Amino acid sequence: MLTADSVVKIYDRWGRFYDIVFKWIFSEGRNVGVELLDLKAGERLLEVGVGTGLSLPLYRRDSPIVGIDISSKMLEKAREKVDNLGLRNVDLQVMDAQAMTFPDDSFDCVTACYVVSAAPDPHKVVSEICRVCKPGGRIVFINHFKSQNRLLARFEELINGICRKFGWETTLDLETLIAAHKLVIGVQERVNIFDYWRAVLCYNSRK
């Protein structure tokens, strides 16, 4: 089982070489996610599990952006990008997405790229996202969700134990997540190698 401590340990280790492995493999998903988000000038955006900050250069610079991550080593790399690119609209904070310290309705929109299945409790993360996002706000998930093909889903269950050691789950079910948090799906697209990941734009239906 992933725990907050094990996630920190795993991603603190990934920090130094995460970009070498995952910058290109996951770049299509990040680009599509930013397009689906369609951030408007001045809108306040939260990026959950911002990691080494690979999405940060893709956002417009006239919107305030807050990036949080549980791993300080991943955030160190994000800080280097923010400094090198002079992204003065970006604020980075070490924070557990399962228990955020922001008040309710703090953000116009939220993105979570390859994060919900990397967290110990994906439902807590999504519940917190819905709390800090304004009612009706846009939420974009880029993630691998459990396959709809039965054989592939069985295979994903088999390899889940190994994947957890690297820092993610393979069996998270999108439909269950959406129903549990009463999210409304706007658009979804398949992205990355073999279309194995999904970019999903949702609306926060919380009143």
Ligand X SMILES: C[S@@+](CC[C@H](N)C(=O)[O-])C[C@H]1O[C@@H](n2cnc3c(N)ncnc32)[C@H](O)[C@@H]1O
Binding site for ligand X (CB under 6 A): 7, 11, 22, 26, 30, 49-51, 54-55, 68-71, 74, 96-98, 113-115, 118-119
Residue 30 or 81 with smaller CB distance to ligand X: 30
Beta bridge partners of 111: 47, 140
Q: Which residues contact 193 (CB under 8 A, 6 or more apart)?
A: 25
| Smallest separation (angstroms) from ligand X to the CB of 34 | 11
Residue 97 or 183 with smaller CB distance to ligand X: 97
CA distance 67 to 53: 8
| Smallest separation (angstroms) from ligand X to the CB of 50 | 6
Which residue's beta carbon is nearest to the bound ligand X?
Answer: 51
β pairing state of 197-203 and 133-143: antiparallel
| Smallest separation (angstroms) from ligand X to the CB of 69 | 4
Amino acid code (one letter) for 103: P
Residue 4 or 178 with smaller CB distance to ligand X: 4
H runs (alpha helix) in 116-206: 122-132, 150-166, 174-180
Residue 77 or 138 with smaller CB distance to ligand X: 77
CA distance 110 to 120: 19
| Smallest separation (angstroms) from ligand X to the CB of 204 | 19
